[in-house]
Amino acid sequence: MCHQIPAIAINDEILARLKEIFVSTLTKWDSTLLDFNGESDYVHLIIDDKPDIALSKLIANLKTVSSRLIRKEFLDLAAKYFDNKPYFWTGAYFVASCGGVTIEQLKKYVENQNSPKVETLPR
């Protein structure tokens, strides 16, 4: 799954916090974050979820929870990148199943994403 945000806002500190949020949220859905990485304007998640979970609901929950917590914890972020509007993610996302590739191949792809190159924002 890939989430995208509308501006270059993710730095290493935010990326680390997003990972914590996603792990916690996925646990509540009886799912597991297998791998995670991102760049300054999007993140990649490899998730092991149950087949009976509606992906649209899971993704909506991940985006809602992470947006709320990131905006709460990084107050300067909303003012700097989002004109103080109450969102962090765009409405778009991409989901693909991993049929035909191994988890190791997916992890290698995610791990090879560049790290964000944005200054650290104060909390």
Q: What is the pLDDT along the chain (123 residues), one digit of tens a residue?
A: 555 554 567 888 999 999 999 999 999 999 999 989 888 888 989 898 888 989 999 999 999 999 999 988 988 877 776 666 777 888 888 887 766 777 788 777 777 766 555 444 444
- Tell me what pLDDT residue 3 has: 52
CA 62 to each of CA 11, 21, 43, 73, 77: distance values in angstroms, whole numbers, following the listed order:
19, 8, 12, 16, 19
3-state class (DSSP) for residue 31: coil
What lies within 8 Å, CB to CB, of 62 at 6+ separation is 3, 22, 25, 26, 45
Q: What are phi and psi of 48, to 5 degrees?
A: -100, 110
Q: What is the pTM of this model?
A: 0.75
pLDDT at 103: 76
Q: What is the pLDDT at residue 26? A: 97
> Tokens 């989901």 identify what position?
95
Identify the CA nearest to 3 among candidates 50, 119, 14, 13: 14
2's tokens: 């890939």
What is the rounded CA–CA span in Å between residue 42 and residue 44? 7
